[in-house]
Structure formats: structure tokens, C-alpha cells
Chains A and B, each alone.
Chain A
Amino acid sequence: AQRVTQPEKLLSVFKGAPVELKCNYSYSGSPELFWYVQYSRQRLQLLLRHISRESIKGFTADLNKGETSFHLKKPFAQEEDSAMYYCALGGSRLTFGEGTQLTVNP
């Protein structure tokens, strides 16, 4: 069975500090991984997907198959990054992690 774990429910950093949101997965095949974000009073939306190898809003995520991880990173956090972040695994059917609430303090 596929599983996604986000070990931190809450994460608080100061503006300008680096931030890393952890995501570990369990999957027997070749994984398809995503990060979704939910800003306050907005819809859940895709932030980035591992297959695109892109940087969105300064965030990057690298798939590490050896460690079965897909951590989300940003070198300099901004206040507008404060949101709930979900890691998700799958293709036609997604499995979501529990989510990490990121707060960036001024």
C-alpha cells in the first residue's frame, strides 16, 4: 500500500530563513509525487510536481529514491509562504500526507 508521511504538523520560521518541509513516501513502483498548497481562504492548488523539476515561488523539491523522500525547500522564506502544505503520491489516485502548517513570522 502506498503511504505518505509528513512528520511535522506545524513549522514556524522567521522571514528570510531557509525552510524545509519534510515528506517521506512508501511505494513499490516508480513514484509520481506532488506538493499541494492551501493558502488561507483559498482553494487547495498544485505547487509543484517532481516530474517537472521546476521551481515555483522559489520552492524546489528533489525526489530521493534511496531515502524515499520528496522534501520541499526554499532558501529564503517570505511571509506570504504561510500556508498548509500537503505532499501527495500517485497518478490517477492520490494519497496525501497529513499536511504541514507553515508559519513565516516577520
Chain B
Amino acid sequence: DGGITQSPKYLFRKEGQNVTLSCEQNLNHDAMYWYRQDPGQGLRLIYYSQIVNDFQKGDIAEGYSVSREKKESFPLTVTSAQKNPTAFYLCASRAPDLNNEQFFGPGTRLTVL
């Protein structure tokens, strides 16, 4: 595997703490995405970025923040304001020259203790 990497694979945090999830890609894709995957709810879009130094809120952005300072990197911060942060988080990037196919990372499972 290569392309998109996410770290760590598992993350534990205490209630009230902020935590940052890493997402890196070497596919030279402009667009990157963060999703949250919960059983029975599918994938829900948190934030996305079409280009460096720009990002937009998705459907469930409250309690999350992102930055896009480099093309390769799109870190997600889960803040203490997120009421139900325990979930599986997926990062993706999009290939516009492949009919908008999105390529996904392996995911990070966050557990709030």
C-alpha cells in the first residue's frame, strides 16, 4: 500500500482533550477529504479541501477543524467540542483525471475514554 497514509491506526484520548489525526498522500491530488464512518450511518463528510490553503465544511463539521498548508497533508483535529468523537475516521483524496475516483486511507479508530 502507498498513496494515502493515516496515523495512528488506533488512538485513545481522554474526554476534554483535543487530538489530531494525520493524513498524508503522495498521489499529487489537489482534493482531500475527511469522513467519519459509524455503523449503520455510512460515511459522513466532515471537511474537504479542493486546493492548498482552502477547505470547506462538510455535513458534520461541528467540533472538528482542519488545515491544508501543504498539498500532501490534511490533518484533522477533533476538539473537545465534538460531543460524540468515538468513531472510525477515513481520509481520502480525489483523482479528477480518473472520473473523480476517491482513494481512501486505512483509517484511524479514535476512542474517547
Tell me, in angstroms, the Cα distance from A97 to B35 when the chains sit together: 13
Whether B42 and A97, one on each chain, are in contact in the complex, defined by CB atoms closer than 8 angstroms, is yes
How extensive is the interface on chain A, given as a class? 20 to 34
Count of inter-chain pairs, beta carbons less than 8 A: 50
The binding surface of chain A is classed by DSSP as mixed
Q: Are B50 and A92 in contact (CB under 8 A)?
A: yes
B105 close to A46 (CB less than 8 A): no
CB distance from B26 to the nearest CB of A (A): 15
Looking at B10-18, B73-81, B96-104, the stretch in contact with chain A turns out to be: B96-104
- Smallest CB gap from B31: residue in A: A92
Given A43-B1, A44-B90; A86-B99 close (CB under 8 Å): no
User: Taking the complex as formed, is B45 at the interface, i.e. its CB lies under 8 A from any CB of chain A?
Assistant: yes
Measured between alpha carbons, how far is A12 from B40 in the docked complex, in Å?
A: 16
**Bound CA–CA A90/B105 (angstroms):** 20
Is B53 positioned at the interface, with any CB of A under 8 Å from its CB?
Answer: no
Interface residues on chain B, size class? 20 to 34
Asked whether B64 is an interface residue with its Cβ less than 8 Å from the other chain, the reply is no
A90 to B35 Cα, complex, angstroms: 15
Which residues on the B side are within 8 Å of A52 (C-beta)? Answer: 99
Q: A32-B100, A49-B99 are in contact. Are A92 and B42 (CB under 8 A)?
A: no
Q: Is A51 an interface residue (CB 8 A)?
A: yes
- Contact of A96 with B by CB under 8 A: yes
Q: Can you give 9 A-B contacts (C-beta < 8 A)?
A: A32-B99, A43-B105, A44-B90, A86-B43, A91-B100, A92-B50, A97-B42, A98-B42, A99-B42
Residues of A within 8 A of B (CB): 4, 6, 9, 32, 34, 36, 43-46, 49, 51-52, 86, 90-99
